[in-house]
Amino acid sequence: MWVRGHNGHVLNEAADRASRAARRQHEFGLGPDWLDRLIAGIAADCFAAAA
């Protein structure tokens, strides 16, 4: 069974979201613009959490 070991840690959550996004982009053949927008959103969430 898989258990999240970094639940709640902002940077680890961002890394997890980024890795899932990259996998989905590859699996579904989504364009690079989609991934760029998603990564920008993840970065904005990190900056907001740090403020």
pTM over 0.85: no
Q: What is the pLDDT at residue 34? A: 81
- Over 60: is that where the pLDDT of 18 sits? yes
Structural domain including 35 reads: 10-50
**Is there a domain that residue 19 lies in?**
yes
**Is there a domain that residue 45 lies in?**
yes
- Over 60: is that where the pLDDT of 6 sits? yes
What is the residue whose two structure tokens read 């969430």? 45
State the total domains in the chain.
1
Q: Kindly state the helix (H) or strand (E) to which residue 20 belongs, with its residue range.
A: helix 10-28
Confidence grade of residue 36 (pLDDT, cut at 50, 70, 90): confident
Structure tokens at 27: 């699996």
Q: Is the dihedral of CA 12, 6, 34, 37 positive or negative?
A: negative
- Can you tell me the mean pLDDT for 8-24? 82
**Is there a domain that residue 22 lies in?**
yes
**Is there a domain that residue 2 lies in?**
no
